[in-house]
Amino acid sequence: MTTQRITQLFETKLAVVASALNLKIAMENIVFEPDKNIYLRSHILPASTDVIDLAGTMKVYKGVFQVDIVAPAGTGKTKAGNIADSIIEAFPNNLELSEREFTVWIDGEPNRMRALSDSTRYLIPVSIDYRANTITE
């Protein structure tokens, strides 16, 4: 359930950012037909959960929230690059995303990775490390 809560917090924040940038988001396992516009695609890449106490009640959920900026091939790199910069600015180090008693933190500076391109698209991945500490009783 915690990974799902983390996903929901990130996707909610990303939806606000995408709306401000007038972009659509291709969500996992939902039909999406890309058009000739730039769009975003997001994924949660969870790492192994750490248990940091002997009782097994203190868990640390870590992973990466990845946002891909997907542009049609041949449209240049400037607009997609500016969008990547906007995503990075929207998810700064130590940002807290909370829902009631649950909080996930951005755990480090977001990273813009090398662009990937093929005959149909130009893609810039942005990786955002996260961490959520929980205590169960």
Tell me, rounded to whole angstroms, the distance of Cα 106 from its chain centroid.
10
Per the structure, the complete domain to which residue 116 belongs is given by: 2-135
CA–CA gap between residue 76 and residue 68 (Å, rounded): 16
Q: What CATH number has the domain bearing residue 120?
A: 3.30.2000.20
Tokens of 129: 């490390």
CB-neighbour burial class of residue 110 (10 A; exposed 0-12, middle 13-18, buried 19+): buried
**Burial label, 127 (beta-carbon count in 10 A; 0-12, 13-18, 19+):** middle
pLDDT of residue 1: 60
Question: Closest Cα partner for 10 from 78, 79, 61?
Answer: 61
**pTM score, whole prediction:** 0.91
pLDDT digits (tens, 9 = 90+) for 68-121: 999 999 999 999 999 999 999 999 999 999 998 899 999 999 999 999 999 999
Please count the structural domains in the chain: 1
For the segment 24-50, what is each residue's pLDDT rounded down to a tens digit?
A: 999 989 999 988 999 999 999 999 988
